[in-house]
Structure 1
């Protein structure tokens, strides 16, 4: 018994769709096994703010962009300029200025690890929060894919006349969305 051309095409489509589903399922199983369920365990499960971005580029290519602590102004419209003392390492101090120079925030780089493709920084001035620590990590997903993960924790929001807690979280969310999207696009 021979199949018609239409039946062969239909069978090929069915097989291709099943293979796609199997590949997606396999990727999800591998990701869960390697990274865990909670945001792939790439960040602290108690984080107050979390942003992830899947990138169709290798983790090494993305990390090359993310690790450049001086290039922040290139990836964020909210930062006009910055100073960095101490280079790309723990102990460095970065001060980011708004484009009109009317505001700034000062950060202490508290951890920097090229092997783990991650760094953490404490914002010590410039935000209405107490003990804010932000983290970046680039996770290798294989098959020339990676994920940028940014998360943040802070002890408390400090009430002030300029911004509510909800406005601050919205501001941070949109800022990090822009930042991670631009860094992903810059990776080569």
Structure 2
């Protein structure tokens, strides 16, 4: 099983960062590679079980199900249902933690998934740098 983990500090309070990112479908508004995203069946985007369907800038289409959500812990977890990437059993978590000194936020985004050895380096780059790190920097630019 592969593991990708990215963390960073955002110069904004955790409450502000969480308020901006808690919308499971909000990535279409801030992530640089998301072209269009919608929640299927009109369900609320913070309801466990909802599915977001979206396209990315390279034309890929993905569907992801929200499997855990907590305003108290400022975290959500999701799994990929459909993806053009050669992966299986993908589960990812987003978490925002307050940094009390300086009123900043420590953000983490990680995923575990199965991938063949020949695809692992490419998928780690796509998930880690192109998705997670790029997304965190885009959030920092918007809320910081």
Q: How would you bin the TM-score normalised by the shorter chain?
A: 0.7 to 0.9
2:90 aligns with 132
1:110 aligns with 67
1:81 aligns with 36
Higher relative contact order (CA 8 A, sep 6+): 2
- Which residue, out of 162, 178, 186, partners 2:134? 178
- Larger helix percent: 1
Unaligned runs of 5+ in 1: 1-45
- Superposed CA RMSD: 2.0
Give the superposition deviation at 1:112: 0.8
| TM-score (ref. length: structure 2) | 0.87
1:95-174 aligned within 5 A: 95-99=53-57, 102-126=59-83, 127-143=85-101, 144-154=103-113, 156-158=114-116, 164-174=119-129
Unaligned runs of 5+ in 2: none
1: CA distance, partners of 2:3 / 2:25 = 26
Residue 147 and residue 115 in structure 1: after superposition, are their counterparts in 2 closer, same or farther (change >3 A)? same
In our comparison, the structure showing a higher alpha carbon Rg is: 1
Give the superposition deviation at 1:64: 0.9
Q: How many residue pairs were aligned? A: 138
- Larger strand percent: 2
CA offsets, 1:37-64, max 9 Å, x none?
Answer: xxxxxxxxx9711010111211100101
2:8 aligns with 53
